[in-house]
Chain A
Amino acid sequence: MSTTDTTTDTDGERRRELLQATNVKKHFPLDEGLFDRLFGESRVVRAVDGVDLTVHAGETVGIVGESGSGKSTLGRTVSRLYEPTDGSITFDGEHIETYSGRELRPIRRQVQYVFQDPMSALNPRKTVGESVARPLSVHGIADGDEKWARVADLFEEVGLSRSGMDAYPHELSGGQRQRVGLCRALVTEPDLVVFDEPVSALDVTLQAQILNLINRLQREFDLSYLLISHDLNVVRQVCDRIAVMYAGEIVERGTVADIFGNPQHPYTRSLLDAIPQVESGRRGDRKSLGGEPPSATNPPNGCRFHPRCPEFIDGSCSGQNPELQSVESDAGHEAACHWLDRSEGERATHTPPSPSEREIIQGSSGGSD
């Protein structure tokens, strides 16, 4: 598993850029009644607001963030379940951002999506075998006996019995249903699978089983993964590279070692500090981050994290939204903060101003709108 930076060319084929999204935006209009629509200013929810994302062939990229950070919207936009508001998306070198209808069909086959809740993703009135076989007919891949043989093989591959094909979704346990969800994603032999919180609804022992299965399938079928999760421990286990999202933007990205070993953005550090610890000596160490994520309709000026930031410095934080910039020590590791490379000592002794003081700082520095 190559977890070094993206430019290291260990194996030309493996590092091929499978999915590349550039400056992708997805805004949802707010329906505010006739008067507002006719005369008012149209307001939008900026769910994803200018994100670059690359998935190389054979790698697993994780997107983490709190609910409302836009990570699911990003997953759905780059896999073209949503139409992007702006930006470009290439899949295997082909621009797919404006595709619609028939043009999208091959993409639907090559990019598959696994949902968090397989109970609502599976048709309750069809056997799970029928649900899994459906894409084979839709895409004209296989028919008749061959179709069912493929489905049966896949069921065994993910650890379900062939007889399980005749079950209805409600007859299966949560873990079994998620295995069926995996079958359905894999049946079209995709290149990229997008997982949206694949194990959040499962107990911890089942989580481990499914994550192991996801890892094994990747090796066997040579798949690329985009994995969306709010759980840093899950992302850490299966991903090569991680992007941390906050309020519709990526605030930091790098390899698993970069993010966990040398987190640069204060938000990433807050997320890591909030993970409950079970190891001896570290229990009870978790720190909570105050405040709430900002409104996606009216995000704060400047750095979107500045109202909650435990390391707020001055007017630059509230005045200007920082761009992603490289972290000197690690190639390929980027973070969007005005104050990268501060030493641990500096951070420890720094006392940030209170939220109300931040407002004043913002006012005096004339934060642009």
Chain B
Amino acid sequence: MSLLDIEDLAVTFPVDGGPDVPAVDGVDLQVEPGEIHGLVGESGSGKSVTARSIMRLLDGAAVSADRFDYRGEDLYAKSETEMRAIRGDEIGMVFQDSLSALNPVMTVGEQIAEVVRHHGDVDESAGLLSELRRKYVTGTSKSAPSWRRAVELLETVGIPDPEEIATSYPHQLSGGQRQRVMIASALGGDPSLIVADEPTTALDVTVEAGILDELRRLCDEFDVAILLITHDLGVVAETCDRVTVMYSGSVMEHGTTDQLFENPAHPYTKGLLRSIPEGGPTDGELTTIPGSAPEPTDRPAGCPFRDRCPAAFDACSDPLPEHVVDGGHVARCHLYTDGDDPDEVTWDATASVDGATNGTAGETAERTPATEVTDG
């Protein structure tokens, strides 16, 4: 059984005096215990909304799904009280911007100790009165189990001199250290799943490498699954076991990291991989996907990528199909569905897509921007 099993998720935000915004439309996502699952997409693709829907942190949005199970139980059938226990105990969250996610007037040790008291396995009162006394009068005793656990957690996430750091305030720490504090605090309730929303985006590449190593190690050591939300395919390639690619509110392709990087099937995934500036110095142009993603209120019918897709044809206005490329590797693309021999069509189609993107890259790059402008 998957740890997290979401089928056909749709999230719509109502807008005063305007049409509703369908941020996410038809997302399937399965996270297995102990894996690192990458959820990758450009800004506006709905990846963060999907992540927040798991924590039920979307106030005012209409969320619907055929299935939204965590450990086989429907998360959206739970009461708010039950949900509060699940957040932290079962599912931890790490946000991108650690400076605004951490409390600026509490030491990081206090913040982690609080999580431990509420969600962890320590025998300390976490009632309102004792929490208030701790917060305004005594502080957490340095010999209390929750404080000792907080220091331990800081050590676990690779912070040197954890006792000293525990008594620091967030602004006194570097971005990398703060992100480690966030991870320590997410681990405070001993969760089975951590949702990490762009945990390294604000960090330098050298620091990022350290944080990702840490996530990988925690995943192996503590048997915790991580849903890693990122726009960076490099991060996915280095860290994840499986990947789900989102575009404009829908899943385009999912599979193992190897399947996706060695044998990308969806034209969008191929375009993304080509856009990564890599390889030797080039005099030529970078290949890119022409145009930009459609507004959520203005998506074409059928495949949301079809206006930018070099291989688009008539069938693309039909609802997205599910094409199984091979075990566990699914591409939602019509290219693969209308032939007698799916395999043969697959390869022909792939070749023509390649040709189209390579051959006209320079030209499209010149031409596209004009179409990029909206009439605003």
Contact = CB atoms under 8 A, between A and B. Distances in A.
Interface string B279-301: 01111011111101000000000
Interface in A269-326: 270-271, 274-280, 283-284, 286-290, 292
A265 interface: no
A3 interface: yes
B261 interface: yes
| Most chain A CB within a 10 A radius of its CB, from B232, B237, B281, B292 | B281
Contacts of B174: 292
Interface in B198-216: 204-210, 212-213
Contact of B288 (A1, A66, A159, A212): A212
Given A159-B370, A167-B376, A171-B376, A209 B205 contact: no
Contacts of A1: 283
B209 A205 contact: no
B340 interface: no
Contact of A163 (B237, B262, B273, B375): B375
Contacts, number: 153
Contact of A3 (B205, B278, B281, B292): B281
Given A204-B231, A209-B369, A280 B262 contact: yes
Contacts of A260: 280-281
Contact of A66 (B206, B276, B373): B206
Contacts of B206: 66, 270-271, 274, 288-289
Interface size class of A (residues with CB under 8 A): 35 or more
B281 A256 contact: yes
| Most chain A CB within a 10 A radius of its CB, from B209, B271, B280, B370 | B209
Contact of B292 (A163, A175, A230, A276): A175
A334 B275 CA distance: 31
B322 to A, nearest CB: 24
Contact of B277 (A163, A172, A236, A289): A236
Contacts of B370: 156, 159-161
Interface string A6-43: 00000000000000000000000000000000000000
Contacts of B213: 288
B265 interface: no
A179 interface: yes
Contacts of B289: 205, 208
A53 interface: no
Given A179-B369, A204-B272, A236-B277, A275 B233 contact: no
Interface string A220-237: 000000000011111011
Contacts of B238: 276-277, 283-284, 286
Contacts of B287: 208
B278 A233 contact: yes
B373 A205 contact: no
B286 A211 contact: yes
B372 interface: yes
| Most chain A CB within a 10 A radius of its CB, from B42, B204, B288 | B204
Contacts of A171: 374, 376
B352 interface: no
| Most chain B CB within a 10 A radius of its CB, from A215, A286, A289 | A286
A176 to B, nearest CB: 6
A289 B285 CA distance: 32
Given A172-B376, A278-B276, A212 B209 contact: no
A277 B232 CA distance: 11
Interface string B185-207: 00000000000000000001111
Contacts of B375: 163
B234 interface: yes
A330 to B, nearest CB: 15
B281 A209 contact: no
A135 interface: no
A175 B368 CA distance: 12
B285 A206 contact: no
Given A212-B288, A278-B278, A289-B206, A283 B369 contact: no
Nearest to B285: A212
Contacts of B283: 1
A3 B283 CA distance: 11
Given A160-B369, A277-B234, A257 B286 contact: no
| Most chain B CB within a 10 A radius of its CB, from A159, A203, A277 | A203
Contacts of B278: 233, 278-279
B255 to A, nearest CB: 14
Nearest to B283: A1
B257 A213 contact: no
B372 A212 contact: no
Contacts of B228: none
Interface in B157-183: 174-177
B234 A237 contact: no
A93 B275 CA distance: 40
Contacts of B317: none
Interface string A150-187: 00000010111101100100011111100100000000
B282 to A, nearest CB: 6
Given A204-B231, A205-B42, A274 B208 contact: yes
Contacts of B272: 204-205
A167 B258 CA distance: 44
A278 B288 contact: no
A7 B262 CA distance: 43
A351 B20 CA distance: 60
B205 to A, nearest CB: 5
12 contacts: A159-B369, A160-B372, A161-B373, A163-B373, A164-B373, A173-B374, A206-B42, A208-B289, A230-B205, A233-B277, A237-B282, A283-B237
Q: Which 7 A-B pairs have the closest CB atoms?
A: A159-B369, A276-B234, A288-B209, A208-B288, A203-B42, A208-B286, A288-B210
Given A175-B292, A288-B213, A292-B207, 8 more contacts: A160-B370, A212-B285, A212-B286, A212-B288, A237-B277, A237-B286, A274-B208, A276-B232
Interface of B: 42-43, 174-177, 204-210, 212-213, 231-235, 237-238, 257-258, 261-262, 271-273, 275-278, 280-283, 285-290, 292, 365-366, 368-370, 372-376
